[in-house]
């Protein structure tokens, strides 16, 4: 399959090149997640989850139930909608749920959980070890592709030392990491197609062993044409989105 140009635009070898290209195409660029449209989408997702209807596929409730997790850190958790699904499926399990998000989303959605002291929001721009505790599960759904590398992921893991790490909708490239732009309602958002092997190696260096690697139900896959960015190299191969499960194998002393 050929990935449609209405979704992806261009191939770049550096994150900075994708950022600059996105800025030249639209004024929003990486700020697309601060827009009213994005806030409305997150609000709709939260309402859906509170009605018991998942707005997006997630493996988190199954993992929480299987391992009896009592605490979760959700990187890029948006409005906190995943908590609603977890708490419905395992109502007597979760005691702490941390959502790490952009400051703009924290300001909007933290109040939605003012009556539930299990849920805490922390701004990614200012998050620190003082704001987070150790957790049983570290979770991320369709988030890492919007970071230039795995640096922030590794920083958070070092802070909260989870027993399990679940990465849903991890978007790998088949022939090494590269970058593109994602088209979103007139905005172009810098996007990373990740290096799967490199990420597994990084988790291993942090003391985590890969326990599961299965396909995430997403339509993305196939080829992305670099000619849109004026590149001269061959087509870049994109693997289907994955769900990756890691377990700590060498706990910190």
* Buried/exposed 168-181: b ≥16 CB within 10 Å, e otherwise: bbbbbbeeebbbbb
- Contact partners, residue 166, CB within 8 Å, separation at least 6: 59, 60, 63, 137, 138, 139, 140, 243, 244, 245, 246
Instruction: Tell me whether residue 104 is exposed, middle or buried, using C-beta atoms within 10 angstroms of its C-beta: 0 to 12, 13 to 18, 19 or more.
Output: middle
Q: Which of 24-38, 52-66, 153-167 has the lowest mean pLDDT?
A: 24-38
Categorise residue 72: left if φ over 0, alpha if ψ from -120 to 50, beta otherwise.
beta
pLDDT band at 95 (very low <50, low <70, confident <90, very high): very high
d(CA 121, CA 132): 10
pLDDT value at 3 more than 80: no
164 domain-assigned: yes
116 domain-assigned: yes
Q: pLDDT at position 109, please?
A: 96
Within 13 Å of residue 67, how many CA atoms lie on the same side as its CB?
Answer: 21
127 domain-assigned: yes
Structurally, the chain folds into a number of domains equal to: 1
d(CA 208, CA 247): 5
232 domain-assigned: yes
10 domain-assigned: no
Question: Domain residues for 226?
Answer: 15-248
d(CA 96, CA 116): 10
pLDDT in tens, 101-145: 999 999 999 999 999 999 999 999 888 766 677 899 999 999 999
216 domain-assigned: yes
Helical H segments across 90-195, by residue range: 103-109, 151-160
Token look-up 């260096």 returns 205
pLDDT value at 20 more than 70: yes
8 domain-assigned: no
Q: pLDDT at position 224, please?
A: 62
d(CA 126, CA 123): 6
36: domain CATH number is 3.40.50.150
Q: pLDDT at position 11, please?
A: 87
pLDDT value at 85 more than 80: yes
pLDDT band at 28 (very low <50, low <70, confident <90, very high): low
| SS3 at position 70 | coil
29 domain-assigned: yes
Q: What is the side-by-side order of every strand in the sheet holding 187-195?
A: 178-184, 187-195, 172-173, 236-238, 222-224
Task: Provide mean pLDDT across the span 166-176.
Answer: 91
Instruction: Report CA Rg, the chain.
Output: 18
């Amino acid at each position: 399959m050929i990935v449609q140009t209405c979704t992806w635009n261009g191939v770049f070898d550096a994150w900075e090149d994708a950022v600059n290209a996105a800025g030249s195409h639209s004024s929003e660029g990486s700020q697309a997640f601060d827009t009213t449209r994005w806030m409305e989408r997150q609000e709709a997702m939260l309402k859906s989850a509170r009605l018991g209807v998942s707005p997006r596929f997630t493996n988190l409730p199954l993992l929480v139930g299987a391992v009896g997790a009592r605490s979760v850190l959700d990187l890029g958790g948006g409005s906190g909608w995943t908590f609603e699904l977890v708490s419905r499926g395992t109502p007597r399990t979760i005691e702490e749920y941390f959502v790490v998000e952009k400051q703009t989303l924290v300001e909007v959605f933290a109040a939605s959980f003012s009556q539930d002291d299990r849920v805490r929001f922390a701004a990614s721009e200012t998050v620190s070890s003082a704001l987070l505790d150790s957790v049983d599960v570290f979770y991320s759904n369709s988030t890492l592709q919007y970071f230039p590398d795995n640096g922030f992921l590794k920083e958070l893991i070092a802070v909260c030392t989870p027993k399990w790490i679940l990465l849903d909708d991890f978007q790998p490239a088949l022939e090494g990491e590269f970058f593109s732009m994602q088209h979103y309602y007139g905005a172009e958002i810098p996007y990373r197609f990740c290096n799967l092997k490199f990420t597994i190696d990084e988790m291993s260096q942090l003391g985590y062993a890969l326990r599961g690697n299965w396909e995430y139900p997403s339509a993305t896959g196939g080829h992305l044409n670099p000619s849109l960015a004026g590149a001269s190299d061959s087509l870049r191969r994109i693997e289907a989105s994955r769900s990756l499960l890691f377990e700590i194998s060498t706990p910190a002393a």
